[in-house]
Amino acid sequence: MSDSFERGINVLKQPLSILPEHISDLVLEHIRQSIHYEPVIGIMGKTGAGKSSLCNALFEHPLSPVSHAEGCTRKPLHFTLNAGGRSLTLVDLPGVVAH
C-alpha cells in the first residue's frame, strides 16, 4: 500500500480509538476494502444491439469482434481498464435473443 494510504489510515486511528478495538479494526478493514474495490460491469442486451461496439469505443481499440451480419460474441469477454492506479473490468456478454 502507498505511504499516503497508510498516513490516511493512521489519521483515522485516533478518532476511532474511542470505539472498542474490534469495532475500530472492522471499520478500518471496510475502509481498506472500499478503497481497493475494483468494479466489474457486465454489458447486457439483445443480440446485435452494439454491446461489443460500445466496449470497443470505450477502450478506443477494437478488442471485441463485431459484425454487421450477425452477433459475434459467443462467450463473455473480459476487458480491464487501468487508470490512475485504479482499475475496472467490463464484461462483454453474449446477446440475449428476445422471444
**Regions of the chain where pLDDT drops below 50:** none
Q: Model pTM?
A: 0.65
Instruction: Tell me the three cell numbers of residue 14.
Output: 485516533
Predicted confidence (pLDDT) per residue in 14-36, tens digit: 899 999 999 999 999 998 888 88
For the chain, the structural domain boundaries read 3-35, 40-92
pLDDT at 85: 81
